[in-house]
């Protein structure tokens, strides 16, 4: 939607800002242009919406790297609300966006000192450590965070990602198990945990991965990745030194999963000669062997 700034009054801009807030639209470029062209000098006329507009402009300014605009709006709020933790949060966000991480951490530490139950500044500190490439420190800080906020599913998933980046798959699996406890009916979490177990390798982990892939498929019968996961796990078991009955069962399950995957892809795929491609994949996957070192 193109906006004709020349024909708009400050009331029109106010109404646009309100609509974007209600619709959760950032529209950062438009917000900054309308702010500088029309509303900045008239913001005092907006009444009770003034503070909401200033916060909206701050976020838009940070999105567009207009740190000068963000600084002016933050200063205006600081004069009216000295010592406000909400304003301090915006200060920290501006410093972080400007890559002045040390100063940003100091502001975040001040917020935490005022309110130890505030989870947001702790998360921002972890994000800063990630931005600086200090994954080990981020893991340490996130572990400390989870001692106080143990039911934060997003934090457990983030810790899992950090452990995966470090190649520590056993700890990553533990984190995903914690997420699974909070959300046992999510096929994606079962699938993610299965991926990690499969990557770890070894007979025990491959068997566990097959179980998680099976549960993911039970929760979502159209989960193609889970079907291929079952196929890979069963193919590995069939080619292992497991008991003959277990290898036979795994071979049958591998064939079944590949047939189901073939049916699913044939239904939705627009690629010609799909059966030949599946056959090629079957041949390629049949030579894969997972070993534990």
pLDDT tens-digit map of 45-88: 888 899 999 999 999 999 999 999 999 999 999 999 988 999 99
Asked whether residue 284 is domain-assigned, the answer is: no
Does residue 116 lie within any of the structural domains? yes
Does one domain contain both 155 and 195? Answer: no
In a domain, 163, yes or no: yes
Residues 164 and 191 in one domain: no
CATH of the domain at 205: 1.25.40
In this predicted model, which residue has the larger pLDDT, 104 or 291? 104
209 within domain boundaries: yes
CA nearest to 119, candidates 106, 129, 108, 130:
108
Residues 106 and 162 in one domain: yes
Same domain, 164 and 196: no
pLDDT of residue 292: 46
CATH number, residue 132: 1.25.40.10
- Does 283 reside within a domain? no
pLDDT confidence band for 259 (50 / 70 / 90): confident
Containing structural domain, residue 199: 184-269
Which of 105, 138, 169 marks a domain boundary? 169
Residue 63 lies in a domain: yes
Same domain, 18 and 56: yes
When the pLDDT of each residue in the chain is averaged and rounded to a whole number, the result is 88
Q: Tell me, yes or no, whether 5 and 68 share the same domain.
A: yes
Q: Is the pLDDT of residue 217 over 90?
A: yes
pLDDT average, residue stretch 12-23: 91
Query: Does residue 121 belong to any structural domain of this protein?
Result: yes
Query: What is residue 44's predicted lDDT score, i.e. its pLDDT?
Result: 87
pLDDT for residue 218 is more than 90:
yes
Q: Is the pLDDT of residue 271 over 70?
A: no
* Number of domains making up the chain: 3
In this predicted structure, the answer to whether residue 286 has a pLDDT above a threshold of 60 is no
Task: Please indicate, yes or no, whether residues 236 and 210 belong to a single structural domain of this protein.
Answer: yes
């Amino acid at each position: 939607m193109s906006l004709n700034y020349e024909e708009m009054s400050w009331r029109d801009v106010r109404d646009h800002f309100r609509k974007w807030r209600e619709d959760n639209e950032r529209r950062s470029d438009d917000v900054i242009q309308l702010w500088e062209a029309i509303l900045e000098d008239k913001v005092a006329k907006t009444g009770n919406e003034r503070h909401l507009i200033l916060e909206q402009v701050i976020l838009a300014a940070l999105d567009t790297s207009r740190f000068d605009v963000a600084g002016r709006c933050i200063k205006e709020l600081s004069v009216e609300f000295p010592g406000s933790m909400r304003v301090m949060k915006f200060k920290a966000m501006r410093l972080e966006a400007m890559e002045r991480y040390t100063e940003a951490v100091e502001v975040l530490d001040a917020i935490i000192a005022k309110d130890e139950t505030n989870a947001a500044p702790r998360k921002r500190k972890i994000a800063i450590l990630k931005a600086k490439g200090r994954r080990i420190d981020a893991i340490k800080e996130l572990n400390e965070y989870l001692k106080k906020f143990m039911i934060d599913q997003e934090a457990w998933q983030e810790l899992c990602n950090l452990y995966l980046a470090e190649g520590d798959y056993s700890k990553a699996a533990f984190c995903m198990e914690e997420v699974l406890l909070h959300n046992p009916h999510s096929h994606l979490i079962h699938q993610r945990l299965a991926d990690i177990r499969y990557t770890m390798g070894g007979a025990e982990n491959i068997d566990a991965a097959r179980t998680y892939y099976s549960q993911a498929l039970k929760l979502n019968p159209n989960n193609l990745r889970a079907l291929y996961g079952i196929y890979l796990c069963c193919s590995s078991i069939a080619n292992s030194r497991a008991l003959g009955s277990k290898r036979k069962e795994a071979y049958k399950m591998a064939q079944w999963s590949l047939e189901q995957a073939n049916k699913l892809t044939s239904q939705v795929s627009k690629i010609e000669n799909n059966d030949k491609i599946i056959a090629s994949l079957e041949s390629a996957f049949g030579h894969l062997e997972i070993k534990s070192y």
